[in-house]
Amino acid sequence: ADEGYARQYIDWLYGINLTRYATVKANTLLRVGRVLTPIVRTIYDRELEMKNFVPEKYYQLESKEETKGEIISLNHKEKYDTPKDLELIEMLNSFNSNDSIVTSLDTTEKIIGSPRLFSQSDLQNYLSKQYKYSPSDTLKLSQSLYEKGFISYPRTATNYLSENEKEKIDSIIQVINDDYNYDLINKESKRIYDDSKIESHSALTPTNKLPNLNDLSDKERNCYQAIFNRFSAVFTAEDHIVNETILVITNSDYEFELKGETVIKEGFTKYDSNAKNKSKNNLPNVEVG
């Protein structure tokens, strides 16, 4: 169905735009009409390219150096068949004998919203990535923690809490607020409380009965800590603030452009660092020059 919709949209987009283009060029109405056949042919050609693709080894220049606690990766896009290529060697020597200077820095400050509370499937995905736990193992662990009174009912399909749970959440925060900087006002957020998103049971949270972590098995501890940390991340008082940065570094008249983030305030990542956007490249705080 998705493939069909994609073809339909592309058919329309190309058809209407080519009609406009041809009409403007010819100064009279020219209807290009449907372009489904050439679109299918384009898809077919691309499929053949992927099917018949033969990987070949190539070489590029790359630098990975640490600056202010972050690795800056500089990649020269030119590809070479052999590492002994004279041009590659000359460029390598030139880069290594010259300084790499920050010549441009464009930043935009952005507040990143906290992650949502865990549903059971989200918890299963999380623990699978972190510890290779199977979904059935995670369900058993969360069921065990629930029966011991340490977490809410685990068999839930939602990331939200119900409106009438605010006092309960307040009591949990009061129990653990000595060590964590929680935001009591944030408890009113529609991102957290939404009755329309709940079918039977609310999102996973710790309870106001705190376990002695040493009494839990290693797997139970990891499971509980994941739920506890996510709760902490959702209710933390400090915003997660980053500068989205485009950084240009020049060496030997060649410009390397890097896109990424510099962290201004940790916010929720202080409690749940695994919840932040992994696709973003962390950049150090540097200045032009």
Average pLDDT of adjacent 10-residue blocks, the chain of 289 residues: 84 86 94 80 94 94 89 92 93 94 92 91 96 96 97 95 89 76 62 89 95 96 96 87 91 92 85 68 86
pLDDT at 265: 87
The secondary structure of 21-75 as a DSSP string is: HHHHHHTS-------HHHHHHHHHHHHHHHHT------B--EEEEEETTEEEEEE
Q: Are 72 and 226 in contact (CB under 8 A)?
A: no
What is the spatial distance between Cα 202 and Cα 119, in angstroms, rounded to a whole number?
Answer: 8
Over its C-alpha atoms, the chain yields an Rg (Å, rounded) of: 27
What is the structure's pLDDT at 270? 84
Contact between 100 and 249 (Cβ < 8 Å): yes
Token pair 């930043």 in the structure block, residue: 107
Confidence (pLDDT) at 98: 94
pLDDT at 130: 93
Distance CA 207, CA 32 (A): 64
pLDDT at 56: 92
* Alpha carbon 62 to its chain's center: 25
Two structure tokens written together for 240 = 């997660």
Question: Is the pTM of the predicted complex or chain greater than 0.95?
Answer: no
